Amino acid sequence: MKILGWPGELLSRLHREVFSANGWRDALRVLESDLESLGKSTEGEFLSIGEKLQDFYQRAGDISKISSTVAQLMSGEELGTAIGGFHNVVERMKRLEGESRRNAKTLRDLLENLVHLNQQVDGFGKTIQHLRVLCVSTKIENARLEDQNTGFEGLADEVGKLSLEIENRCIQLLASSDSLSQLIGQILAKVLDLETAQQTQARIVFDKTMSSLESLLEKHGQSARGAGEISTRYEAVSKRIGEIVSAMQFHDITRQRIEHVQQALAGLGPHERPAGNGERQTVGGFLFGSIRLQPKGTGKDLRLAADVCHLQIAQLNYAREELVSAVKNILDNLNALADLVAEMAQETSKMAGAADETGQSFLTGVEAGISSVTSALKAYGEADRELSLAMGSVGSMLGEMSGHTGNIEGIGEKIKRIALNATVKACHIGEEGATLGVLAEAIHQLSVETRQRTENASEALRSITSASESLCSAFNADGTDKGGELALVGESLRTQLQTLQDVNQGIVSLLTQMNQDGCRLSGNIRKTIAEVGVHRQVDQVICNVASGLDELVAFMRPKGPADDQAEGAERMKALEATYTMQGEREIHQSLFNLKTNSAEKPHRNPVNPLMAGMMEKEKTDNEPDKADQEDLGDNFELF
């Protein structure tokens, strides 16, 4: 209840009224009632503020945890796994390229061996011609001897048959060699096409894909550091709000001070005590706690009442200043926290947009790269199966050509035997068969040359057979497993891509949630700041009560005896004994003790008035938490 409409109203009213014991006491009861109403009305609002701050504390902590999760997701573990998987695929592709190069070299060597074989086979053409000449010459010379049983007739027939056999064998061998050369040429062309058209392209795609992944990893690393910093800052915000909640105990200190003022004012009024007959009787004097004072002398009661009221004005003003300053400090810090939370929400919004855009951009490129690589692997598998089938045909041809090796070696043995028979028969004939002896020697010499040629051709065939069998074996060994292996590689790539997409989507989702939660938290803090009016109410009521007490003092002091400060202090010792807080004693001493300046007020920490209310001595450290200041930035001066 406001008893003053304008300054001096109460004093004017008191002077107009007939002076009695009830005039100023009635005014005190009204002022005391105002203080009591103030305590009750502010209690609920402070509890509401405390509940909201506790909610803000929890929500800031939750956002900090989400940010930590984002930082962990962005730490690169999944990306590192994917990059490791891609490196494995690159190594597999390198092995495939190495196999392809080795196969191409083997195929080229085969073609060179076939060329060498053809050269050796072509050399049999002269052997065939020589055999035919020797066949004809032997028959002519044998006829000249006029049917002597020399045996050269049969020898000539064998030479003729051998020339035909060699000719047929060469035709067959050259045909097989040409077919094999053509088939191997086709296989080599496919291998080279695969290497140039598929593997080279796959490597290019792989290089781009790996570059995209490494760039994404780098960007995620930067974002992870940013998310970690935001997490630390939200953690600091939560801690600061927790400190504000703890500092809200200052309200209890202020409430106790106001109650002590109420008790002091009540002590100036009439009191009752039990009478002997079981009833209560009104007694005079003043009651401060358990101490009763009964001033003697005209006006001394008014002088004492004036001193008490003057002291309560100081106590109320100090309590008012402390509470108003503390609440304003809370609101200023909450406002700064709201700004910081809004700033961090904006940062997370940008991070979410960047993560979404970057992730989609890079992952789209990675997906395209994986599709290209998978297609290349599929094409390689299909080409490998085709090559395996083609090498099966090569194996069949080699089986046929290996039979030619024995035939060629048989030719060498046959011509050797014919040469030996010719030499023997020539010796039997003697001088008459001198010409046949020359022919026999020629057959022998041709036999030596032919055997050397057959050995060279056989060696070439064996080299071709060995190399081809090794190549066929390699194709068949890889062909049975390579298709499945390449399919697994492709599936692994798709799985890793899906993992990356899931992780990126999770990051974007969490960052979006952080942004939304931060915006709501900042908005709720600002709304709470706007709704807080308890400090204005306390300021208004206490100023009103202090003004009323001041007018009462102005009314009562002239009516009491004059005395010095020492006498006033002596009278007020009873009131000093009722104090429970050091601050109250300091106010008392500043007014009534000579050792302190009456204008001085108790020391208050200029940095942290809130924390003063948490301790009996109302003292705190003058240095703020440096680590937390760094977490929150340069615009914070917290508790």
Instruction: Say yes or no to pLDDT of 621 above 50.
Output: no
CA separation for the pair 538, 293 (Å, rounded): 31
Q: How many helices (H) and strands (E) does the chain have?
A: 15, 4
CA separation for the pair 91, 198 (Å, rounded): 16
Question: In sequence order, what E strands does 174-290 have?
Answer: 271-274, 280-283, 286-288
Residues 409 and 111: beta-carbon distance below 8 Å = no
CA separation for the pair 572, 478 (Å, rounded): 108
CA neighbor of 457 nearest in space, from 410, 505, 516, 522: 410
Question: In sequence order, what E strands does 439-541 have?
Answer: none
213-222, 274-283, 319-328: the lowest-pLDDT one: 274-283
Q: What's the pLDDT at 224?
A: 77
Residues 71 and 63: beta-carbon distance below 8 Å = no
Task: Find the mean pLDDT for residues 429-456.
Answer: 73
Task: Find the mean pLDDT for residues 576-598.
Answer: 70
41-50, 54-63, 359-368, 589-598: the lowest-pLDDT one: 589-598
Name all domains of the chain by residue range, CATH numbers in brackets. 94-203+381-502 (1.10.287)
pTM above 0.95, yes or no: no
Half-sphere exposure of 92 (CA within 13 A, CB side): 23
Give the model's confidence band at 567: pLDDT under 50 very low, under 70 low, under 90 confident, else very high: low
Residues 514 and 285: beta-carbon distance below 8 Å = no
Q: What string of DSSP letters covers 61-80?
A: HHHHHHHHHHHHHTTSHHHH
Q: What's the pLDDT at 519?
A: 93
CB count in 10 Å sphere of residue 496 = 22
pLDDT tens track for 18-34: 444 467 788 888 888 88
- Return the percentage of the chain with pLDDT > 90, whole number: 7
Give the model's confidence band at 524: pLDDT under 50 very low, under 70 low, under 90 confident, else very high: very high
CA neighbor of 366 nearest in space, from 354, 358, 378: 358
Task: Find the mean pLDDT for residues 4-29.
Answer: 58
Instruction: Say yes or no to pLDDT of 444 above 60.
Output: yes
Task: Find the mean pLDDT for residues 486-499.
Answer: 75
Running DSSP on this structure, what letter comes out for residue 605? -
3-state secondary structure of 288: strand
Residues 343 and 531: beta-carbon distance below 8 Å = no
Q: What's the pLDDT at 523?
A: 94
Mean per-residue pLDDT of the chain: 74
